[in-house]
Amino acid sequence: MSSSTARTTAPAAARATDAYRWTQLAIGVGAMVMIANYQYGWTFFVPDIQKMFGWDRASIQLAFTLFVLFETWLVPIEGWFVDKYGPRIVVLIGGILCAIGWLINAKATSLTGYYVGMIVAGIGAGAVYGTCVGNALKWFPDKRGLAAGLTAAGFGAGSALTVAPIQAMIKSSGFQTTFLYFGLGQGIIVIILAFFLFAPKPGQVPAVVQNANIVQSRRNYLPTEVVREPIFWLMYFMFVIVGAGGLMVTANLKPIAVDWKLDNVPVTLVGLTMTTVTFAATIDRILNGLTRPFFGWISDMIGRENTMFIAFGLEGVGIWALYMFGHDPVWFVILSGLVFFAWGEIYSLFPSTCTDTFGAQFATTNAGLLYTAKGTAALLVPIANYVQQTSGSWDKVFLIAAAANILASLLAVLGLKPWRRSVVAQANETPSAGATAAAA
């Protein structure tokens, strides 16, 4: 394996305090919380858009698909700007684009208007997301899984804080006014936070970790080198099948509940009573946030691949159990919670594994390249609906999703773990003329 990288020439800076590093992480988490609604809040606007304009639901939801595609597939380009010019300018522009996107939505009177608005917001949200995750990976080589998990949790659970206010404003002032005020408010906060966001200088962060469970490369791979490494494509394949496998079930929870005649059945757990779907959706938002730092923290102790084996295996078993026992409303809520908990950690495990393997200097771009797997996985999700329609049941969907996760869990320990250890060892033992110190 041959590899060449850019040489770090900046003089080493004094070691940053842990308080400063955690402050940088907190700023990134805050920005992630502010962009969460651009994705997760969209669903609250759809019924009112449909009611006002009379468009069919599928046509309106194409705007959301465009958001996801532009939010994911442009992250490597945005990451290149971060690695070259620093995080502040990219997050600043991202916040401006997020605000403009929902401003367009507030004024839109055509489907094209909403498509454009969500594309603009998607580009902005992707710029903020990729930057904040990449910056966390750079600041915390010693706690990379936890740092990436906490940052991703801001996006996964951040919208929970504004579910009620958004719905209340839509009801009292209309969805267009809500688009305007929330879009501008969230975007402005991101812009303000951007001015306090910095990338670490050489010497400010701890050295790369080398122990029995965690191996990290001292070589910094350029993005053009990463895409030529076969091990990167193994990670990409695993990300896609786990992402698609989980989404096939989680994205169709309500239709599944309707088909199983569970959607309006009341369920009482821990002193709370809600309908089955409402309870499952509530647990989704909570566990979708908790799982990211939890499994990231676990991976810092027992290793990335070992954690993948546990989490992906748990996801596969959870999906199978939901298929077997989920016709009971209580078990539907409990097992759907397990499925959500074992799925969201992909957004902490894969970025940290990528940076461990290819170095920190270009972490934002390289992790962004891997993050495009989210968009690829989303394109595969309609397969679940096709399989359900042709077979008349959800059986095959559950079995495919469970099998995809079990396959990924086995690939993690039987393929990725030994292969990655070999790749990192070879890179560390042969620091060619292009090799650099991993602190960036």
Could you give the CA distance from residue 364 to residue 135 in angstroms, rounded to a whole number? 7
3-state DSSP call for residue 131?
A: helix
Please give the DSSP secondary-structure letter assigned to residue 196: T
Task: State the CB neighbour count (10 A cutoff) for residue 54.
Answer: 7
Answer whether 333's CB lies under 8 Å from 313's CB: no
- The two structure tokens encoding residue 367: 């992790």
Please give the DSSP secondary-structure letter assigned to residue 215: B
Answer whether 93's CB lies under 8 Å from 126's CB: no
Contacts of the segment 180-183: beta carbons below 8 A, 24+ positions apart: 180/102, 180/103, 180/106, 182/37, 182/41, 182/102, 183/98, 183/99, 183/101, 183/102, 183/103, 183/105, 183/106, 183/121
3-state DSSP call for residue 206?
A: coil
User: How many CA atoms does the CB half-sphere of 413 hold within 13 Å?
Assistant: 15
Structure confidence at residue 191 (pLDDT): 98
| AA letter at 268 | T
Could you give the CA distance from residue 391 to residue 385 in angstroms, rounded to a whole number? 10
Please give the DSSP secondary-structure letter assigned to residue 210: B
Could you give the CA distance from residue 98 to residue 123 in angstroms, rounded to a whole number? 8
Closest to 201 measured CA to CA, from 20, 59, 434: 20
Answer whether 214's CB lies under 8 Å from 300's CB: yes
Structure confidence at residue 1 (pLDDT): 43
Structure confidence at residue 430 (pLDDT): 66
User: How many CA atoms does the CB half-sphere of 337 hold within 13 Å?
Assistant: 16
Could you give the CA distance from residue 362 to residue 247 in angstroms, rounded to a whole number? 29
Q: Which H or E element spans position 268?
A: strand 266-269
| AA letter at 116 | V
Phi, psi values for residue 268, rounded to 5°: -115, 120
pTM value? 0.85
Answer whether 327's CB lies under 8 Å from 398's CB: no
Structure confidence at residue 437 (pLDDT): 40
Structure confidence at residue 5 (pLDDT): 41
Answer whether 17's CB lies under 8 Å from 204's CB: no
Could you give the CA distance from residue 77 to residue 403 in angstroms, rounded to a whole number? 33
Structure confidence at residue 431 (pLDDT): 56
Structure confidence at residue 279 (pLDDT): 85
Cβ-based neighbours of 99, under 8 Å, separated by 6 or more: 124, 183, 184, 186, 187, 188, 191
Locate tokens 């998990």: which residue?
149
Phi-psi region of 84 (alpha: psi -120 to 50; beta: other; left: phi over 0): alpha
Contacts of the segment 411-414: beta carbons below 8 A, 24+ positions apart: 411/234, 411/237, 411/238, 412/238, 412/305, 412/306, 412/308, 412/309, 412/312, 413/305, 413/306, 413/308, 413/309
Cβ-based neighbours of 50, under 8 Å, separated by 6 or more: 56, 57, 60
Structure confidence at residue 378 (pLDDT): 83
Angle, vertex CA 229, rays to CA 227 and CA 234, nearest 5: 90
Report CA-CA distances (Å) from 229 to 72, 157, 262, 317, 366: 21, 33, 47, 31, 12
Q: What is the pLDDT along the chain (440 residues), one digit of tens a residue?
A: 444 444 444 566 788 999 999 999 999 999 999 999 898 888 889 889 999 999 987 789 889 889 988 999 999 999 999 999 999 999 999 999 999 999 999 999 999 999 999 999 999 999 999 999 999 999 999 999 999 999 999 987 777 778 778 888 999 999 999 999 999 999 999 999 999 999 999 899 988 877 778 889 989 999 999 999 999 999 999 999 999 988 888 778 878 888 899 988 999 998 888 888 888 877 887 888 899 999 999 999 999 999 999 999 999 999 999 999 999 999 999 999 999 899 889 999 999 999 999 999 999 999 999 999 988 998 887 788 788 888 888 899 899 999 999 999 999 999 999 999 999 999 888 654 334 443 33
Phi, psi values for residue 15, rounded to 5°: -60, 130
How far is CA 200 from its chain centroid? 23
